[in-house]
Amino acid sequence: MISLTIDPKKIQEARKNASDIVKSLGWLLEDYSSVTIERTVLRLMGIDGADKDGAPIPNIIVEHLREKKAIERGAAYWIANAMAFKDLSAQEIANQVSKGELDLTQIEVQSPKKVFDILDKLTDKMLLHITKQNQFRKEAFKKFGPRKAPSVYVIVATGNIYDDVAQAKAASREGADIIAVIRTTAQSLLDYVPYGATTVGFGGTYATQENFRIMRKGLDEVGEEIGKYISLTNYASGLCMPEIAAMGAIERLDVMLNDAIYGILFRDINMKRTLLDQYFSRMINAFAGIEIQTGEDNYLTTSDAIEKAYTVTASQLINEQFAILSGIKPEKMGLGHAYEINPEIEGSFVYELSHALLTKTLFPDAPVKYMPPTKFASGNIFKTYAMNTLFNFIGGLTNQGVQLLGMMTEAIHTPHLVDRALAIENADYVFKAVKGLNEEISIKKDGFINKRANKVLDEASGFLKKVSEDGLFTAIENGDFADMPRPENGGKGLEGVFKKSSEYLNPFMDKMKAKLGL
Amino acid sequence: MISLTIDPKKIQEARKNASDIVKSLGWLLEDYSSVTIERTVLRLMGIDGADKDGAPIPNIIVEHLREKKAIERGAAYWIANAMAFKDLSAQEIANQVSKGELDLTQIEVQSPKKVFDILDKLTDKMLLHITKQNQFRKEAFKKFGPRKAPSVYVIVATGNIYDDVAQAKAASREGADIIAVIRTTAQSLLDYVPYGATTVGFGGTYATQENFRIMRKGLDEVGEEIGKYISLTNYASGLCMPEIAAMGAIERLDVMLNDAIYGILFRDINMKRTLLDQYFSRMINAFAGIEIQTGEDNYLTTSDAIEKAYTVTASQLINEQFAILSGIKPEKMGLGHAYEINPEIEGSFVYELSHALLTKTLFPDAPVKYMPPTKFASGNIFKTYAMNTLFNFIGGLTNQGVQLLGMMTEAIHTPHLVDRALAIENADYVFKAVKGLNEEISIKKDGFINKRANKVLDEASGFLKKVSEDGLFTAIENGDFADMPRPENGGKGLEGVFKKSSEYLNPFMDKMKAKLGL
Amino acid sequence: MSIKIDETKIRPYGDSLDDGRMQFSFALPAPCNEKGKEAATQVLKQMGLHDIEICYLNDLGEGFTHFVAYASTSVTVDLTKIQVKIVETPVMNMEETDAFIEENIGREISIVGACIESDAHTVGIDAIMNMKGYNHRYGLERYKHIEAINLGAQVPCEELLQKALEVNADAILVSQIVTQKNIHIKNLTKLIELSEAEGVRDKMLFICGGPRINHELAIELGYDAGFGSGSYATDVASFIAFHYADKIKKGE
Amino acid sequence: MSIKIDETKIRPYGDSLDDGRMQFSFALPAPCNEKGKEAATQVLKQMGLHDIEICYLNDLGEGFTHFVAYASTSVTVDLTKIQVKIVETPVMNMEETDAFIEENIGREISIVGACIESDAHTVGIDAIMNMKGYNHRYGLERYKHIEAINLGAQVPCEELLQKALEVNADAILVSQIVTQKNIHIKNLTKLIELSEAEGVRDKMLFICGGPRINHELAIELGYDAGFGSGSYATDVASFIAFHYADKIKKGE
Ligand code: B12
Ligand code: B12
Ligand SMILES: Cc1ncc(COP(=O)(O)O)c(C=O)c1O
Ligand SMILES: Cc1ncc(COP(=O)(O)O)c(C=O)c1O
């Protein structure tokens, strides 16, 4: 059985350093909210739709409350108050606001009991729906058998949800376990979630609730046919983290990209905004039984995978601590790792084996999201295919949780139907071929692989120590993360962050916390 | 460091069983000769060319002597006698015979001293030439550095020697260490060696001395340019084993396919003929410093690679013993092995690792010729490319001597220029990637890999024991080898075998034996 | 809503309906630079392709360059108009075939097979004929009501035909694996011509097989059936059994 | 004797001169059977190919089939007639360029770069501009006589142009990596049109780069130069330096 020799104390220490970093942010997570958090609340209350110009109703309501300087109390209260007064549904109230027919802050204050009753009912209703979705998923896995490990994860990214569905179904038949619908370019920078079914995206398809629904339906259909539950995933990270998480919970996505700091570093989203949003977003994921996946691969697409290996480890440990804070269980923490080592390097496979094992060793229960070579993929599709073969080799050998299959055309275009099929075939073949190898070999105790893993862990731990001393904000400002200095009050979306008033209400967060024992 | 745990006594015993088989054939090797052996002698005396119908002169001479019932004395004597009488060169004598102008048996018997002098001179001249070729090779390796391991071995097989040369040169630039010119379909069944440069072959190019020369020249040129000695190989096995070996020695081939029993089993050549021919043929290889390669891969193209794994081991042990008999040193014994396991099998890689290591363990000094998947190659070039990637993985991990690169188009056509380049790139990449892995891992003592290797060795040893008891001929007659029953007196070429007379002379064999210490 | 395919105008599919996207890989005797790239582009342009992306070029030495490209075609094919000749008899397993022969033919079927002429690739014909079979389907030798004779490799056409006549064969099975320079066409044609010359073409079924053989080609060459990669004894046995049962039914 | 290539009539090369052999891989909305195979064959036939071998077909589900094929083209290209626009200035290393600027230009060169519009792929432009450089070639920021300003990702054209005018830039460097639906063409065109509208097109060099960009395309789009995959700071720096030295020489 292959395993590393690492002093458990060292691991504990690294974890403690990460925990110190995360714990110091309690003030932010407790006292602040953001526009997207409020929009999430509205969505969870059952409000959806867009006006004739395409502006999503939840955005209109939140803007309305901001204008009226009433958002600090939380959107939930205002809607419930109006519902109590008008005896209309949340959606009906919202529609009136969106048409400019209603000013929520002008409505007479209703009795707290009435308002709380309404909120309670709405909250319970939605949480029940989400719980049922979770139940459905669990039963489906019971009926068809659990997801295999490594799970075969492939992306669809045509820009057209209908082409996406056809391709996702084809992939499912070919053996995919998880389908990711890639979002259109930089959707993470939109401070709203587009509405409806869409057919025009760049390098991906809009993440909309309708698109989620269409894909979920397609996968359920093909799953029934082939006798397997096909997992669906999309991206939460960005300016709408909790909203998309909520949509995912409602539409029964099973896995969601959700990185605590990706938005800050790689999308220049304000740090307070992201940290706040991820907190609620992950809580929704946790409640819905959705597995999160983090984006450590992003570190390696810009920096060297050997030199900066420790940044992956450090980020994994931070993501883990944030996940714990939101109630996510270890077996739902799909921490990221990527095979981005320069293929020209001697022993690239040996390095990678060390790095991949380190992740496994640190997070034995996590369904690690293992990413393929992308940076060194070239227009030589055959070479890229060979690199993906070794990637699948390590995935199989180290028994990774989720194998995000590499595409031979990575350097050329978003995956074609054929590319995906060949990728799945490759993974199937390699996983089968190396089955059992794991049990047959062991790693030399004092060899390079162990030394290397220890070194990376030491570097990560030292780095985390330093960050915990400087404070996360300062460290990010200094460019300690991914060489990307981001000012505390810069970046996108800071204007959407606000301090809660003492009367602030987020009934969903409250109930979820209770259920998650937070 | 990966290695197997096998009781050395077991290995000794297996080797002893093989040695018993081979030793019992002394009567054949000592008392008989064949038409191709005699033609070889003629070629070594400097006789070459073809008549106007394309019949090679060496064949004409030997036929002439057979007609005259004079062959039992060996061809050398008759030519030398004629030379002494006529004071002409061997070639001149031969030309006269070929034109029907001379009957060798009608020439007056010359004084033994005169005849022996002539023979001595001719023999020394040719052996000097061959020694010089060997010397040239050694110096080239000294100058440019030794052949790397695993050596990258690729085939050219266009049918046209000029296309072959262009492609061989291209391959050399891309990193090939050894170029094999594949022979045209079933040349092994021709009881003569075609003459001259050729441009029309099926699935390969005629093995002719001129083609050898053209290719050697091309490789020397490109080698000078890129600063590397490029090795050249072709096939000896067949009805002309020693002749082709001699041509290879003369034209400085570096490696030759030379299997002691391939012809019997896979080409239905008579067993006495093949065993006899391989003996002299290998002696020439040994004298010339040519590395031989055996054809164990052939067992697995027709039978199952797991079930019949032991046949490979058994054949390797027999080939080794025959090689020893001909004076071939361990480091020139390129015994064959092949990755022909069904990719649909779970743990196919694990099985193969065990088999590949077994070969390495039994023959630690042999530059094993490691053959790629061919049988399970399909028209899916991508899948085949992935299979070749794992093949290269094992080659690199177990540090094989010669990696005969798999082609992604194996199931389609003989290699295109592009196929070969991609194959070399794959090997380069994989060898580099897994470099050092070998030192990092060890094989579980009581695991499947060790058990499997021991089992295969046991089966091989038991099989060899049985063959040594029954006798090789009987065993082959019974179909014990590759399920191919071949009658002792059936197959092609038996008519070309004859018992030597007491006056028989083969000055080349005698001198080589002396020099090789046999 | 979902993607709708018009069967009368199908076109290669990359990732969007009718994008016509295809992958190409080839070598050119051209330099590995922008000029070579342009030459590669021109080759593809002349093939009617557009949106040509030469995504990789690599110097192969000796003046050659390897190109990998993606490009779009605007050709379409009318799927509804395509007619192909395929073996249409249903496929039965061994037991079914044996029972079928017993019931509908009532005598043993005799079959002679070989790899003809220069071809020595016996694995394919063995897969069909040998006792052991292939991929969990037994070969013809195992069928109770089939007498199968496998002559093996490199059998001259004359010899095969003679043997077939000798045993009064119901069917001849020919395997051809090597296809370089269309050698398989030459060899298969030779056998048929020989059988015609000897007036025995209609005395038995002529069936061929191999990785580059299909039923259509077989018919074209004058055979009764052809079987490609992935065929089994079951396919051939069923075809032969149905043929003879049919003949009996028709009173021929 | 050896193989002789006629440069006026080159053709794809499989393993024999002028065999025209090429490899194809594509999907069709067609069934995975002989009919689909025939459809694939017809696609290739319409592209003028012959000796078509469909060597692999695989059911992709949802009515699609994957085909791998080899076939021969008879198109030829006249290599001697191919003209491509390439950057023709010699390439100097960093030290040489710095010395060259000192000697021939005598002032600092100012360069502003960015990934424009929706594109966030900065690795390419960073490779050219950042101190650290790429593949053992330092980036422009390290050049003694170059003032390089890298605006990073997703910079609107307006912003880039404004910055360039502000610092009186000698050259603008634009990177475009995403090419889906020809978004790069749109973005690059937008920048040039904007510069023309503002009458500043000739005030500085406009240079673009990215994996699907080449000099020819750049010129076509109205740029001064274009650089594809595998370019380095040395290429761009040399080009700019020579351009301005030339101008000075010509007294412009
Ligand atoms: C095994 C093998 C050999 C073995 C053959 C051993 C043997 N006893 O058969 C050995 C090592 C001897 C060999 C030698 C050569 N081979 Co070879 N060989 C192969 C290999 C690797 C596998 C073929 C195989 O066994 N397939 C498995 C069987 C089960 O599949 P199959 O033959 O297609 O049969 C199935 C169907 O086609 C069908 N079928 C076949 N025949 C029939 C007949 C009937 C009646 C029916 C109904 C069905 C049927 O049913 C079968 C089961 O589904 C192929 C590459 C490949 N992967 O395909 C090369 C290959 C066929 N060989 C090739 C060549 C060139 C040669 C040589 C000429 C090389 C040389 N110059 O020496 C020699 C000469 C052989 C000769 N004289 O014919 C080329 C042919 C190129 C071409 N397209 O023309 C190939 C493609 C390899 C390559 N890329 O170069 N070979
Ligand atoms: C790294 C990467 C990312 C990183 C980028 C991080 C960063 N800060 O740059 C992240 C993860 C953020 C990312 C995101 C996305 N990516 Co991306 N990404 C890649 C990847 C793997 C490598 C690109 C790279 O860094 N190459 C290395 C550099 C050094 O090479 P280069 O860019 O070609 O630059 C060289 C030359 O072109 C030239 N050059 C480039 N620019 C310039 C400029 C000038 C002036 C000059 C002189 C020269 C020059 O010089 C450079 C050095 O030689 C490629 C796949 C690949 N292997 O190519 C996909 C790829 C480019 N991405 C792709 C896509 C679709 C996306 C997304 C849109 C996906 C999505 N829906 O979310 C997003 C959105 C990004 C956006 N808004 O643009 C596609 C593009 C498809 C297409 N052809 O349109 C690719 C091809 C992957 C794929 N197959 O789907 N990506
Ligand atoms: C964690 C995470 N979230 C989101 C995304 C992508 O989202 P966008 O491109 O819309 O920012 C990525 C991309 O790799 C990611 O890693
Ligand atoms: C040992 C050996 N000799 C010779 C050959 C081929 O020669 P031929 O096809 O001419 O018999 C092979 C083919 O694989 C072989 O393994």
Around ligand 1, the residues with Cβ closer than 6 Å are: B 182-186, 203-204, 266, 298, 301-302, 374-375, 377, 410-414; C 118-125, 127-128, 134, 173-175, 177-180, 207-211, 227-231, 236
For chain A, positions 187-206, list CB contacts with chain C under 8 A.
197
pLDDT tens digit sequence for D133-144: 888 899 999 999
Question: Residue A475, Cα to own-chain centre: how many angstroms?
Answer: 23
Q: List subunits contacting chain D, requiring 3 or more Cβ pairs under 8 Å.
A: A, B, C
**Best probe residue, ligand 2, of D86, D121, D135, D234 (max atoms within 8 Å of C-beta):** D121
The residue from B262, B310, B339, B370 that is catalytic is: B262
Cross-chain residue pair A163–C21, CB shorter than 8 Å: no
Give the count of beta carbons closer than 10 Å to the beta carbon of residue B494.
Answer: 16
Of A61, A53, A5, nearest to A35 by C-alpha is A61
CA distances from C153 to A276, C126, C146, C184 (A): 75, 10, 21, 14
Please compute the mean of the pLDDT values over residues B9-16 and round it to a whole number. 98
The dihedral through the CA atoms of C75, C80, C83, C89 has a sign that is positive
Of all ligands present, the nearest one to the C-alpha of B201 is: 1
The Å distance, Cα A266 to ligand 2 centre, comes to 13
Token pair, residue C119, equals 């071809």
Strands annotated E in B35-77: none
The residue from C132, C144, C186, C247 that is catalytic is: C132
Q: What is the pLDDT of residue A95?
A: 97
Backbone torsions φ then ψ of B190, nearest 5 degrees: -80, 135
Would you state the torsion angle of the CA atoms of residues A69, A71, A75, A78, taken in this order, to the nearest 10 degrees?
-30
pLDDT above 90: residue D132: no
Cβ atoms of B115 and B507 within 8 Å: the answer is: no
Interface test with chain A among C2, C3, C11, C15, by most A beta carbons within 10 Å = C15
* Residue A259 alpha carbon, nearest atom of ligand 3: 1
CB of D60 within 8 Å of any CB in chain C?
A: no
| CA-angle at B290, arms to B287 and B296, nearest 5° | 120
Cross-chain residue pair D84–C28, CB shorter than 8 Å: no
Spatial distance between the Cα atoms of B133 and B135, rounded to a whole number of angstroms: 5
Q: What is the pLDDT of residue C181?
A: 85
Q: What is the pLDDT of residue D133?
A: 87
* pLDDT level of residue B215 (50, 70, 90 thresholds): very high
> Position C220: which residue type?
E
> Position B50: which residue type?
A
The Å distance, Cα A391 to ligand 1 centre, comes to 32
* Residue C183 alpha carbon, nearest atom of ligand 1: 84
* Nearest residue in A to D63, CA atom: A170
| CA-angle at D47, arms to D44 and D50, nearest 5° | 60
In what helix (H) or strand (E) does residue C45 lie, and over which residues does it extend? helix C34-46
Which residues of chain C have a CB within 8 Å of the CB of B167? 62
pLDDT above 80: residue C2: no
Average pLDDT, chain D: 95
Residues in chain C: 252
> Of C58, C62, C123, which has the smallest distance from its Cβ to B169's Cβ?
C62
Interface test with chain A among B349, B405, B452, by most A beta carbons within 10 Å = B349
Q: What is the pLDDT of residue B40?
A: 98
pLDDT above 90: residue C24: yes
Bridge partners for C114 per DSSP: C174
Q: Maximum distance among all alpha carbons in chain D?
A: 72
The Å distance, Cα A324 to ligand 4 centre, comes to 65
Residue A413 Cβ < 6 Å to ligand 2: yes
For chain D, positions 161-220, list CB contacts with chain C under 8 A.
212, 214-216
Q: What is the pLDDT of residue D251?
A: 84
Cross-chain residue pair A302–D60, CB shorter than 8 Å: no
Q: What is the pLDDT of residue D1?
A: 54
* Nearest residue in D to A187, CA atom: D118
Q: Which domains does chain C have, with CATH numbers?
A: 1-82 (3.30.30.60), 94-249 (3.40.50.280)
The Å distance, Cα A90 to ligand 2 centre, comes to 44
The Å distance, Cα B416 to ligand 1 centre, comes to 18
Cross-chain residue pair B163–D56, CB shorter than 8 Å: no
Question: Residue A366, Cα to own-chain centre: how many angstroms?
Answer: 14
Cross-chain residue pair B413–D16, CB shorter than 8 Å: no
* pLDDT level of residue B238 (50, 70, 90 thresholds): very high
Of B383, B426, B385, C56, nearest to A411 by C-alpha is C56
> Of A378, A414, A416, which has the smallest distance from its Cβ to C56's Cβ?
A378
The residue from B308, B332, B369, B375 that is catalytic is: B369
Around ligand 3, the residues with Cβ closer than 6 Å are: A 183, 186-188, 235, 237-238, 257, 259, 262, 267, 295, 298
Q: What is the pLDDT of residue A6?
A: 97
In what helix (H) or strand (E) does residue A449 lie, and over which residues does it extend? helix A448-470
* Nearest residue in B to D19, CA atom: B416
Q: Across the 518 residues of chain A, what is the mean pLDDT of every consecutive 10-residue run? A: 94 98 96 98 98 96 98 98 98 97 97 97 98 98 97 96 96 98 91 96 94 98 98 96 98 98 93 98 98 96 94 98 98 98 97 98 98 97 98 97 98 97 98 97 97 98 98 95 92 97 98 97
Per-residue exposure over C212-234, b if at least 16 CB sit within 10 Å of its own CB, e if not: bbbbbbbeebebbbbbbbebbbb
Helices (H) and strands (E) in chain D, counts: 7, 8
Cross-chain residue pair A442–B442, CB shorter than 8 Å: yes
Q: What is the pLDDT of residue D181?
A: 85
Around ligand 4, the residues with Cβ closer than 6 Å are: B 183, 186-188, 235, 237-238, 257, 259, 262, 267, 295, 298
Cross-chain residue pair C15–A380, CB shorter than 8 Å: no
Alpha-carbon distance D31 to nearest alpha carbon in chain C (angstroms): 9
* Nearest residue in A to D153, CA atom: A267
Helices (H) and strands (E) in chain B, counts: 21, 12
Cross-chain residue pair A418–D120, CB shorter than 8 Å: no
Q: Is B206 a catalytic residue?
A: no
Lowest pLDDT segment from A116-125, A338-347, B67-76, B182-191: B182-191
pLDDT above 60: residue C1: no
pLDDT tens digit sequence for B470-502: 999 999 999 999 888 999 999 999 999 999 999
Q: What is the pLDDT of residue B185?
A: 84
The residue from D35, D45, D132, D186 that is catalytic is: D132
**Best probe residue, ligand 3, of A187, A188, A190 (max atoms within 8 Å of C-beta):** A188
**Crossing angle (nearest 10°) for helices B8-23 and B309-325:** 60
Spatial distance between the Cα atoms of B290 and B138, rounded to a whole number of angstroms: 11
* Nearest residue in D to C34, CA atom: D84
ipTM for the whole complex: 0.96
Residue whose tokens read 């005969």 = B404
Q: What is the pLDDT of residue B186?
A: 80
Residue A414 Cβ < 6 Å to ligand 2: yes
Residue D173 Cβ < 6 Å to ligand 2: yes
Q: What share of chain D has pLDDT > 70, as a percent?
A: 100
Bridge partners for C147 per DSSP: C110
D134: which DSSP letter? B
pLDDT tens digit sequence for B296-318: 999 998 889 999 999 999 999 99
The residue from B164, B259, B297, B419 that is catalytic is: B297
Whole-model pTM: value is 0.97
Q: What is the pLDDT of residue B202?
A: 85
The dihedral through the CA atoms of A403, A404, A410, A416 has a sign that is positive
Please compute the mean of the pLDDT values over residues C194-209 and round it to a whole number. 96
Token pair, residue C69, equals 């490209």
* pLDDT level of residue C135 (50, 70, 90 thresholds): confident
Residue nearest to atom 55 of ligand 2 (CA): A411
* Residue B267 alpha carbon, nearest atom of ligand 4: 11
Cis peptide before A150 (omega within 30 of 0): yes
